Amino acid sequence: MRKTAYMVRCVPRYGFDNTEVRTIDLDLPPFAEHDELEHALGFYFASRGISDAVFAIECDADGYFAVINDEVYERQWGKPLL
């Protein structure tokens, strides 16, 4: 199976100071299932030494997005969505 980059929007849980929507690229097929995305997000943050980052995974008209605990924003990861 060929893997492709899958961009995921990461939004803060409450949106305290210094939090913003960020994006990350994961190696997943374009139409990944919820469980695959959950596993890939867990691995992404764990490999950066960040635990308990993902609060929830939701879906809207633009696809899946991850709700990220605000404490995680104290670290460098992802790209701010402008």
Nearest to 66 by CA among 18, 34, 32: 34
Give 18-68 pLDDT, tens digit per residue.
Answer: 899 999 999 888 778 899 999 999 999 999 999 899 999 999 998 899 999
Q: Which pLDDT score, from 0 to 100, does residue 13 have?
A: 95
CA dihedral 9, 67, 53, 39 (to 10 degrees): -70
For 43, phi then psi, to 5°, come to -65, -40
Considering the entire predicted model, what is its pTM?
Answer: 0.87
The answer to whether 8 and 41 have CB atoms below 8 angstroms apart is yes
